[in-house]
Structure 1
């Protein structure tokens, strides 16, 4: 029964759920379920990558840390994806800081097994290559967004993308952490959140932010949110599907 329970938990990650049964069987014995804690740093820039992670309900940000101590998010990972993959296949060094923004669980696997799986399983390789393309599209759009869009629009985009990756309207986030991810000052984020609350789009409460009007939040967000989501839906159909949908294989 424990094995069946672990299998179900691994498949809470939508990339693992999308694998063909024989490909999942190849990787499953090497997967380990671990807890990821809020603000836990998994890797700093330049550190050797030992593990690849498939999040279940956790959300992890890849952050670029500047010499003056400032930082800005350049990619985000949740149950639709995997992180540490590109480094595992190429340099084996972290591009930046991987920090947990929403705590939860993930399936962890040593990078050597990922490399073997990519070599041995063509359909898995295609799935992971499609994810890599979607990730690059996401990063491209986030960099553009950070350069040209207002803090309010970027904040809405960030809240929506985080909401996509969790199964609850309550996002356990602080103003300080959100400011770090957006690469701006905390007072600016506080002003934006008060504005969104007055508009009825969110509700602030102790320990987090509650999404109360998702449709309104989408209207207030910049174009980047929709572009990023459409990239994932095109390359990895149904990775953004509702959590109770039956996730089948997406690669033919």
Structure 2
């Protein structure tokens, strides 16, 4: 989030919430609805994959470089992973729909992005913004309010 230009961050800021990541808290489980994108500031979240034989294995560790729940930017979906907090910390949480609206608003308003009216350049800029919003992230996950508390 720190890498976003201030005008882009301002589009997302109204619905951003700082949440505490509590050690061993479940953020999402395989099959849970994905509604929020979570951007950890500190702490670490382990992404776990359920195998066909019933075992669960860690597949990634997400920290301040990444995000969880990025599929929610594209609309309703279900998590394919389980996300468990392994080291307590804090994160910014934003509804995926709010991020999607922010991206759409940016590219409807030429004053926000001079490339937006230049065809391929505008599309490339949109892809860069989306990549920035989802950089280093798992494509799955969600924010479960019952397991995270406002900071």
TM-score, scaled to structure 1: 0.43
User: Is 2:99 aligned against 1:111?
Assistant: no
Q: Distance in 2 between matches of 1:32 and 1:83?
A: 15
Task: Tell me which of 57, 76, 79 is aligned to 2:64.
Answer: 79
Distance 1:46 1:134, change over 3 A: same
2:82 corresponds in structure 1 to: 97
User: Is 2:52 aligned against 1:50?
Assistant: no
1:128 corresponds in structure 2 to: 130
* Residue ranges of structure 2 left out of the alignment (5+ in a row): 108-124, 139-151
TM-score, scaled to structure 2: 0.69
SS in 2 for 1:115: helix
The size of the alignment, in residue pairs, is 121
Q: Superposition RMSD on alpha carbons, in Å?
A: 2.4
Distance 1:131 1:110, change over 3 A: closer
Runs ≥4 residues deviating over 6 A: none
2:11 corresponds in structure 1 to: 26
Q: Distance in 1 between matches of 2:69 and 2:58?
A: 16
Q: Does the CA contact (< 8 Å) of 2:72 and 2:95 recur in 1?
A: no
Structure having the higher strand fraction is: 2
Q: Distance in 1 between matches of 2:135 and 2:37?
A: 17
Q: Does the CA contact (< 8 Å) of 1:59 and 1:100 recur in 2?
A: yes
Q: Which moved further from structure 2: 92-101 or 112-121?
A: 112-121
Structure having the higher helix fraction is: 1
* Residue ranges of structure 1 left out of the alignment (5+ in a row): 1-15, 137-252
Per-residue deviation, residues 140-166 of structure 1 (Å, max 9, x unmatched): xxxxxxxxxxxxxxxxxxxxxxxxxxx
Task: Tell me which of 22, 41, 62 is aligned to 1:37.
Answer: 22
User: Is 2:66 aligned against 1:64?
Assistant: no
Q: Does the CA contact (< 8 Å) of 1:52 and 1:111 recur in 2?
A: yes
Q: Which moved further from structure 2: 47-56 or 125-134?
A: 125-134
Q: Distance in 2 between matches of 1:27 and 1:133?
A: 16
Per-residue deviation, residues 15-61 of structure 1 (Å, max 9, x unmatched): x1100110011111110001011111111111101211010002112
